[in-house]
Amino acid sequence: MERGLNLRLVSTRPDWPIVIDPNTVGRARALKPVGDSPLILNDKTGEEGLFTTIHETAVKRIFSELSSIPTKPIATESLNPPPNTQVIHITRSMRAVSEETLFSDLFQKPFTSC
């Protein structure tokens, strides 16, 4: 079974750009943004609204349409953070960790301008 995101570049935005578990009964879902704004996955995703459908036949049709669009796969390496960028993965068990604990070493170093 494949896991994770299947990210691809397209030349035109499909009406329904996200499909989740299209072949899993009871979990199939398709999403699209409200309006013409581009779908950007970040902390603002969905603020303007998202349409969603769980209608299994509709999700399968949407998935079929998405699968027929010419695409170019996005290389996993292109998603790596830039050099000198620290990524901190906060797990559920770390919710009580303070910013001071996470970033204290950063503020102990002398500041130098680039």
Q: How far apart are CA 77 and CA 54, in angstroms?
A: 33
DSSP state of 23: T
CA triple 43-45-92, angle to 5 deg: 45
| Section 67-83 average pLDDT | 88
| pLDDT at site 25 | 87
| pLDDT at site 1 | 39
- pLDDT bin (cut points 50, 70, 90) of residue 114 is low
pLDDT tens-digit profile of 20-65?
999 888 899 999 988 877 777 777 777 788 899 999 999 999 999 9
81-108 burial: b if 16+ Cβ within 10 Å, else e: eeeeeeeeeeeeeeeeeeeeeeeeeeee
Q: How far apart are CA 78 and CA 59, in angstroms?
A: 29
| Section 10-23 average pLDDT | 89
Chain-wide mean pLDDT for the chain? Answer: 84
pLDDT tens-digit profile of 85-94?
888 887 877 7
**Which residues have CB under 8 Å from 39's CB, separation 6+?**
13, 17, 18, 32, 33, 45
Q: For the chain, which residues make up each domain, given as ranges? A: 8-76, 81-108
Q: How far apart are CA 30 and CA 100, in angstroms?
A: 40
| pLDDT at site 111 | 67
